[in-house]
């Protein structure tokens, strides 16, 4: 009887222990690749480690992360057996594979793949020393932005028109319209301010206060504008920013000067191997003939930095290399757009929840935050950024000063004419307004009459 009681007590103890132990921690396999998974002392960190922590927080599971034993992502050998992280998931050695695993049809047939958590494509990087600077016929316009050039043109036209009007209105510039010849025509007004832009000037110069105010403000405007232009132009000429002479895969395949390759046996390698595109087939044949493939992404980045080598890979890893190494630049063309996914054994009940968690993280902006965190650009060549075209809003104070000068000049010219009209009104015993109106009419009418007289005289001659 005592023995039976002891057996019952042991069974109850075992059952209670099983009930309180909780679910076992999931085994997660990954691979070292910056910035997805990196070592920090004895700990692992990176984009995929942070992503795994966020998913575990949402789904409420514990996990243990280990590095894949053979150091491979996942490919089939000659006998059809899977290697790398995919192999560990297929054999049951890992519950999940969280890394920069590309979603492919072959992998989808052997394991469960989640919705992609990161989109990427295939591009290539090479050294800036292999670039050639682009030449432009209008490169002299680059120091100023389009808005800035429009602002300068408007300021030029408005100032020329204001000088012309002041020269017509002010009695200090044109004392007697009936006897004196008017020297400041519209054409001469624009020629005068053009001379100021060349720092030379063109006579005759304004004699009245109103004309001199506009002229002085325009000279200040011209000097500051030229200083900004030549400063920015000099910076652009001295800039070391270069543009890649080989801009796309077609140009890469057509040349033989720069060698190129990718990670042997990876998804990018298989893409070129299985492609029916003539350009991509030519690239694969070149890599096979020259044996130019590399064993890892790190080796590809190193060879690209040494020069005369273009490393072909996925944009996610290439962008990180460009952000860290200032002497590298990535091609603008991306092909074979693809995504990185999490792998689980076939029939895994967790995959649906993992996919939902990834979508929630994407919708909340968490994935974008993680990408900006781990792909931050730490490259600042020559201690600064590439020079940019000068924007109009940076010199808005200068344009406001010019507008104020033109308005003040016109106001003073009108006051000078009003003072003269008032004196004439006293002498002629007429109203000041009528004399002022007659004076303005005579000044602008005489200009048209003089122009007509000159035209008739030229036609007679």
Annotated binding site: 102, 107, 268, 314
DSSP class of residue 202 equals -
What is residue 284's three-state secondary structure?
helix
Rounded to whole angstroms, the Cα distance separating 56 from 51 reads 9
Asked whether the CA dihedral 237, 221, 137, 329 is positive or negative, the reply is positive
CB 343 within 8 A of CB 149: no
CB 294 within 8 A of CB 263: yes
Which residues touch 294 (CB under 8 Å, ≥6 apart)?
Answer: 261, 262, 263, 264, 300, 303, 311
Which residues touch 102 (CB under 8 Å, ≥6 apart)?
Answer: 73, 267, 314, 338, 339, 340, 341
Instruction: Give the residue carrying structure tokens 């979508």.
Output: 359
**Which residues are annotated binding-site positions for L-glutamate?**
102, 107, 268, 314
Which residues touch 95 (CB under 8 Å, ≥6 apart)?
Answer: 26, 27, 28, 89, 344, 345, 348, 350
Residue 18 has a CB neighbour count (10 Å cut-off) of: 9
């Amino acid at each position: 009887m005592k023995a039976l009681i002891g057996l019952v007590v042991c069974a109850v103890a075992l059952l209670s222990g099983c009930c309180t132990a909780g679910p076992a921690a999931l085994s997660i396999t990954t691979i070292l690749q910056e910035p997805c998974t990196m070592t920090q002392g004895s700990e692992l960190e990176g984009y995929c480690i942070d992503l795994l922590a966020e998913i575990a927080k949402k789904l409420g599971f514990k996990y243990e992360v280990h590095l894949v034993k053979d150091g491979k992502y996942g490919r089939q050998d000659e006998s059809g057996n899977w290697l790398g992280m995919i192999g560990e998931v297929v054999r049951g050695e890992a519950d999940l594979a969280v890394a920069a695993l590309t979603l492919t049809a072959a992998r989808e047939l052997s394991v469960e793949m989640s919705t992609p958590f990161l989109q990427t494509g295939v591009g290539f990087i090479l050294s800036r020393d292999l670039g050639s600077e682009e030449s432009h016929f209008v490169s002299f316009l680059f120091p100023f932005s389009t808005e800035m050039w429009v602002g300068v043109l408007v300021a030029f036209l408005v100032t020329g028109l204001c000088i012309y009007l002041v020269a017509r209105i002010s009695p200090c510039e044109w004392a007697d319209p009936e006897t004196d010849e008017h020297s400041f025509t519209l054409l001469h007004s624009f020629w005068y301010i053009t001379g100021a832009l060349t720092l030379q000037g063109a006579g005759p110069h304004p004699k009245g206060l109103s004309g001199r105010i506009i002229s002085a403000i325009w000279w200040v405007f011209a000097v500051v504008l030229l200083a900004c232009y030549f400063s920015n132009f000099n910076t652009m000429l001295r800039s070391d920013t270069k543009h890649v002479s080989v801009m796309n895969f077609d140009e890469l395949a057509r040349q033989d000067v720069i060698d190129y390759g990718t990670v042997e046996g990876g998804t990018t390698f298989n893409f070129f191997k299985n492609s029916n595109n003539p350009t991509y087939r030519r690239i694969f044949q070149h890599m096979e003939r020259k044996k130019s493939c590399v064993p890892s992404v790190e080796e590809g980045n190193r060879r690209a930095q040494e020069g005369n080598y273009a490393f072909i890979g996925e944009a996610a890893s290439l962008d990180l290399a460009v952000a860290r190494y200032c002497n590298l630049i990535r091609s603008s063309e991306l092909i074979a757009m693809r995504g990185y996914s999490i792998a689980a054994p076939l029939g895994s009940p967790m995959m649906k929840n993992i996919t939902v968690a990834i979508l929630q993280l994407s919708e909340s902006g968490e994935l974008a935050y993680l990408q900006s965190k781990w792909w931050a650009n730490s490259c600042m060549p020559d201690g600064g950024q590439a020079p940019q075209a000068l924007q109009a809003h940076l010199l808005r104070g200068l344009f406001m000063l010019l507008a104020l000068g033109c308005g003040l000049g016109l106001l003073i010219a009108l006051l000078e004419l009003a003072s003269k009209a008032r004196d004439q009104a006293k002498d002629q015993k007429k109203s000041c307004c009528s004399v002022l109106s007659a004076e303005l009419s005579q000044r602008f009418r005489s200009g048209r009459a003089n122009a007509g007289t000159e035209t008739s005289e030229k036609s007679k001659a």
